[in-house]
Amino acid sequence: MISLLRRLSTSPPLLMEPANSCVGSQRLLALAQQLRLYKPPSLSSDDDIEEQRIEEIAHKVVSQVGFAESNTPIAQDPERFRPKRAAVLLCLFEGDAGDLRVILTKRSSKLSTHSGEVALPGGKTEEGDKDDGDTATREAKEEIGLDPSLLNVVTVLEPFLSKHLLRVVPVIGILNEKEAFKAAPNPAEVEAVFDAPLEMFIKDENRRSEEREWMGNKYLIHFFDYETKNKKYIIWGLTAGILIRAASIVYKRSPPFVEQNPIYKVPRVVDINTTIP
């Protein structure tokens, strides 16, 4: 697939470590080292370059729901496609059973968009944010009370495009001392904070999918059913797509199910009211 990350990502991979970060387990240290070496997909052949050139000449703007933007050839016409930028935090830590887990939230039912849905902590870039890591950790502190000094931010993944054509950059941070984090959800934004095993998102268990169609093109949306502490959650759409990609990178294997990367055109006029079903 075509990668546009070199042109779309303005921030370099994040390799910072907080000054007072804890030592953590050997597994987490090894994971941090592995992720620092991660490099997003890049153009790999003359065929890819030629395909990209053809797509740009055709002035196509395409997007996907829950899949990386690097898989989507996007016309380089800033007047037609200038998505706002956002970042989400994949906060990973080691569970009591030794498994790798990720912190998730259930959005407040009072929010005007995506109310009651499961999400990763994060939000839109604001003036003053130095980079995507700054955005993700700032939002996590505001939403769930996660002190950025507890995190070892190790890398960013390639951007994703949301339903509303928002460019979302996943930021991976490692929480070495989970006991130091006491969730303090902001009731205006977050209804609940919970965690789930990361490996779940590259397994077929508790997963279902729906095929949808927009402008004559079909695509899949994945849903993961998860229950913890007698509460049931559904993790789907963009959040599921980001978690599938992150789990594939961390565990170095692809999921056993078909992700189905659909390519479909976005209307010629792309504005704040443009959405993907």
Beta bridge partners of 61: 74
Query: Of how many residues is the chain composed?
Result: 277
How confident is the model at residue 226, as a pLDDT? 97
Query: What are the φ/ψ torsions at residue 101 (nearest 5 degrees)?
Result: -125, 160
In DSSP notation, 87-152 reads EEEEEEEE-TTS-EEEEEEEE-TTSSSSTT-EE-SEEE--TT--SHHHHHHHHHHHHH---GGGEE
How confident is the model at residue 39, as a pLDDT? 86
Say how far apart CA 226 and CA 203 lie, in whole Å: 13
The CA distances from residue 34 to 134, 249, 255, in Å, are 21, 10, 20
The pair of structure tokens assigned to 197 is 């095993």
Element (H, E) at 46: helix 46-57
Nearest-5° Cα angle at 169, 191 to 58: 125
pLDDT tens readout for residues 84-115 = 899 999 999 999 999 999 999 998 877 656 66
Q: Helix, strand, coil proportions of the chain in percent (round to 5)?
A: 25, 30, 45
How confident is the model at residue 260, as a pLDDT? 60
Handedness of CA 111, 132, 83, 50 (dihedral sign): negative
How confident is the model at residue 73, as a pLDDT? 46
Handedness of CA 141, 146, 148, 152 (dihedral sign): negative
Predicted structure pTM score? 0.76
Contact of 131 with 89, CB cutoff 8 Å: no
How confident is the model at residue 170, as a pLDDT? 96
**Residue 167: CA count within 13 A, CB half-sphere:** 20
The CA distances from residue 125 to 87, 170, 253, in Å, are 7, 13, 31
How confident is the model at residue 103, as a pLDDT? 98
The pair of structure tokens assigned to 206 is 């508790």
How confident is the model at residue 63, as a pLDDT? 33
Q: Within the chain, which residues score under 50 in pLDDT? A: 1-22, 43-65, 67, 73-79, 262-270, 275-277
Q: How far apart are the first and last CA of the chain?
A: 23
pLDDT tens readout for residues 3-16 = 333 333 334 344 34
Handedness of CA 126, 170, 115, 192 (dihedral sign): negative
Using DSSP, how many helices (H) and how many strands (E) does the chain show? 5, 13
Residue among 208, 247, 246 nearest 224 (CA): 208
How confident is the model at residue 121, as a pLDDT? 96
Contact of 135 with 159, CB cutoff 8 Å: no
The pair of structure tokens assigned to 245 is 């990609």
